[in-house]
């Protein structure tokens, strides 16, 4: 049977009304399709669109970028990398179809801009828009209730500062708006607004000799993202956790000669959100784990020791990815990556492929994702595109170059 939005909405509308607009994710729905087994304990949050890789370069390397070489999209992954850019400023636009195998009008558009202020500092700004297309609403009896076009977006601004010749840190501030309300839901439902902060750091070593004309360097990075209060979808003292998460990464560059380079990187990330406890089906009493109805500040620290399965389950809450990138004369790049998530935490497991092409001052990146688990991700079979424009001003002239 073909996928129909109106049929889908008819079956979940009552759920939205009961769960204070948990249309929070029509989208989470897509993710929850990856967790159909009773042994899963998937951690869900509001506005999970903030966790979707926005650009084709990172998407071609297993959805990682916290410690990769700097590029225009570092605003999302690690804005501290902007201080290591050898460009004066740049712009980027990226397009990601979502659930493309089922629906053709759900997508993410990402716009970004960065500039080096001086040798020690840089700033970045970005806009992320997630459009869920037009949705035909129907009540539980199948009665037509009109059409809505829910959407979410975020606006970011970052500032980074070199603290040493090899290390920089950056802070980002983010405004989030999630307009997913339904006219048929609670009377006081409204578009949800919130603020969040990121704290990031990046280290890049000096070049060192590997012999036979080859040079190497290594990179380390971290980013604590989406630190902020719970987001509220209606007038209530309760709220839903933002997708606060910790990213840690490392990379190594191997410049074989003036024309050929290889880059290897690894990354891990963990949601800084409480794990749902195991409760008694009748009484609701907690059998294992900790109460997840806590403040957002307590939730960050609790997320490291509250898994019902103990330390073993805590380790499974760390996703990881591996990737490699080959560059020829900095004008042609090919990439590959693998992403792994535990089967009890969502079971997203996929391979990615990507390529980049530079022409003068423009760079085009493309990537493709295909699932390696039995349960497909919403981005399975998705082709993503990013276009970047770099400019340098040197002695009154301009030139473009890819990192």
Q: What tens digit of pLDDT does each residue of 74-125 get?
A: 999 999 999 999 889 999 999 998 887 777 788 999 999 999 999 999 999 9
Number of other residues whose CB lies within 10 A of the CB of residue 225: 26
Q: Which pLDDT score, from 0 to 100, does residue 93 have? A: 97
**Alpha carbon separation from 136 to 4, 99, 107, 130, 179 (Å, rounded):** 9, 17, 18, 18, 16
Size (the chain), residues? 403
CA-wise closest residue to 35 among 377, 379, 381: 377
Bridge partner list, 169: 161, 201
Written as tens digits, the pLDDT of the chain (403 aa) is 333 334 333 333 333 333 333 333 444 444 444 334 445 788 989 999 999 999 999 999 999 999 999 999 999 999 999 999 988 999 999 999 888 777 778 899 999 999 999 999 999 999 999 998 877 777 777 777 777 788 999 999 999 999 999 999 999 999 999 987 655 445 555 788 999 999 999 999 999 999 998 999 999 999 999 999 999 887 666 789 999 999 999 999 999 998 999 999 999 999 999 999 998 888 889 999 999 999 999 999 999 999 999 999 999 999 999 999 999 998 999 999 999 999 899 889 999 999 999 998 899 999 999 999 877 788 888 899 999 998 875 344 333 344 4
What is the domain-level CATH number for residue 65?
Answer: 2.40.160.40
Distance CA 289, CA 274 (A): 10
Number of domain units in the chain = 1
Q: What is the pTM of this model?
A: 0.85
The CA-based diameter of the chain, rounded to the nearest angstrom, is: 75
Q: How far apart are CA 271 and CA 40, in angstroms?
A: 16
Pair of tokens at residue 25? 């994710």
Q: Kindly report, residue by residue over 171-210, the tens digit of the pLDDT.
A: 999 999 998 765 544 555 578 899 999 999 999 999 999 9
CB atoms closer than 10 angstroms to residue 4: 11
How is residue 372 written in tokens? 């390696």
Q: Where are the alpha helices (DSSP H) in 19-113?
A: 26-32, 56-59, 74-77
Q: What is the pLDDT of residue 396?
A: 41
Q: What are phi and psi of 345, to 5 degrees?
A: -120, 15
On whether the CB atoms of residues 201 and 80 are closer than 8 A, the answer is yes
Give the domain range for residue 106: 5-399
- The three-state secondary structure class of 213 is coil
d(CA 254, CA 261): 6
* SS3 of residue 352 by DSSP: strand
- Residue tagged 């806009």 (tokens): 127
The answer to whether the CB of 148 falls within 8 A of the CB of 166 is: no
Sign of the CA dihedral 337, 317, 45, 245? Answer: negative
Q: For 314, which DSSP code?
A: H
For 165, 211, 215, 223, the CA distances from 200, given in Å and listed in that order, are: 17, 33, 27, 4
Given this model, what pLDDT does residue 282 score? Answer: 86
DSSP designation for 373 = S
Compute the distance between CA of residue 133 and CA of residue 303 in angstroms, rounded to an integer.
34
The Cα 61–Cα 303 span in angstroms is 27
Nearest alpha-carbon partner for 128 in 79, 92, 164: 92
Q: Are 146 and 137 in contact (CB under 8 A)?
A: yes
Q: Where are the alpha helices (DSSP H) in 237-308?
A: 296-302
Task: Tokens for 189, please give them.
Answer: 């439902």
């Amino acid at each position: 049977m073909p996928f129909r939005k109106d049929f889908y909405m008819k079956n979940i509308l009552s759920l939205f009304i009961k769960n204070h607009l948990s249309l929070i994710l029509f989208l989470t729905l897509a993710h929850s399709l990856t967790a159909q087994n009773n042994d899963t304990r998937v951690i869900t949050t509001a506005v999970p669109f903030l966790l979707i890789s926005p650009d084709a370069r990172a998407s071609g390397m297993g959805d990682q970028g916290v410690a990769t070489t700097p590029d225009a999209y570092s605003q999302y992954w690690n804005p501290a990398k902007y201080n290591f850019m050898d460009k004066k400023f740049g712009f980027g636009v990226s397009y990601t179809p979502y659930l493309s195998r089922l629906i053709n009008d759900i997508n993410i558009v990402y716009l970004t801009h960065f500039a080096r202020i001086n040798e020690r500092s840089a700033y970045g700004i970005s806009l992320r828009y997630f459009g869920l297309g037009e949705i035909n609403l129907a009540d539980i009896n199948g009665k037509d209730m009109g059409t809505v076009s829910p959407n979410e977006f975020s606006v970011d601004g970052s500032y980074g500062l070199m603290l040493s010749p090899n290390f920089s840190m950056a802070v980002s501030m983010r405004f989030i708006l999630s307009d997913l309300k339904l006219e048929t839901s609670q009377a006081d439902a409204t578009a949800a607004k919130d603020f969040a902060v990121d704290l990031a750091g990046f280290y890049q070593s000096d070049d060192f000799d590997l012999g036979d004309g080859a040079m190497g360097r290594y990179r380390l990075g971290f980013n604590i993202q989406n630190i902020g209060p719970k987001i509220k979808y209606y007038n209530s003292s309760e709220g839903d956790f933002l997708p606060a998460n910790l990213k840690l990464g490392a990379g190594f560059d191997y410049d074989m000669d003036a024309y050929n380079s290889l880059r290897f990187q690894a990354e891990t990330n963990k949601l800084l959100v409480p794990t749902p406890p195991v409760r008694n089906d009748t009484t609701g009493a907690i059998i294992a784990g900790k109460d997840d109805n806590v403040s957002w500040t307590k939730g960050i620290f609790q997320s490291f020791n509250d898994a019902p399965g103990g330390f073993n389950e805590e380790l499974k809450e760390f996703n990881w990815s591996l990737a490699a990138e080959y560059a020829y004369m900095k004008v042609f790049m090919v990439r590959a990556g693998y992403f792994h998530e535990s089967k009890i935490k969502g079971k997203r497991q996929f391979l990615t492929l990507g390529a980049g092409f530079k022409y003068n001052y423009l760079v085009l990146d493309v990537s493709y994702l295909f699932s390696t688990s039995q349960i497909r991700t919403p981005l399975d079979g998705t082709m993503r595109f990013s276009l970047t424009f770099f400019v340098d001003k040197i002695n009154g002239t301009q030139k473009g170059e890819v990192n």
